[in-house]
Amino acid sequence: HAVYAKKHFTEAQEIKEYQTQDEANQDLAAGRLDAVQADSIALVEYLKSDQGKACCDLKGMVAPDDEVLGPGIGAGVRKEDTDLKAKINDGIKAIRANGKYDEITKKYFDFDIYGGPAQSN
């Protein structure tokens, strides 16, 4: 996220890097930061906390940059486990097609973690 901020927020007066998201959240809540750029899942959970609700608002999501942030999250399997890879891919396709993915997403997240548009609960 620091690389992204340095590339896309060149107008920022200062970009400060933290070892943990908790440290950044503490400085944000204390007013020592104007904004943070972080993993959306972790940030949304913080904003649901009492401390997050008291101090901060989500103002938007950053534009995608696969060169810096990558295309998303994945799982690793050994190259020789082609059958397992096919089963995982088929399972993902099946739950996306039958609506189970949307049901699970709505239960646990305020947005589509697959990368689609935000949804409301």
Tens of pLDDT, residue by residue, the chain (121 residues): 889 999 999 888 899 999 999 999 999 999 999 999 888 888 888 999 999 999 999 888 888 898 998 877 778 899 999 999 999 999 999 999 999 999 998 898 877 777 644 443 3
Return the pLDDT at 115.
62
Return the pLDDT at 81.
96
- Say if residues 105 and 114 touch (Cβ distance below 8 Å): yes
94 and 78 in a common domain: yes
89 and 64 in a common domain: no
| Count of structural domains, the chain | 2
Domain endpoint, select from 54, 72, 90: 72
Whole-angstrom distance, CA of residue 36 vs CA of residue 50: 18
12 and 31 in a common domain: yes
120 and 82 in a common domain: yes
Return the pLDDT at 120.
38
Whole-angstrom distance, CA of residue 74 vs CA of residue 113: 12
- For 10, the token pair is 């060149």
56 and 100 in a common domain: no
103 and 66 in a common domain: no
* Domain of residue 99, residue span: 74-121
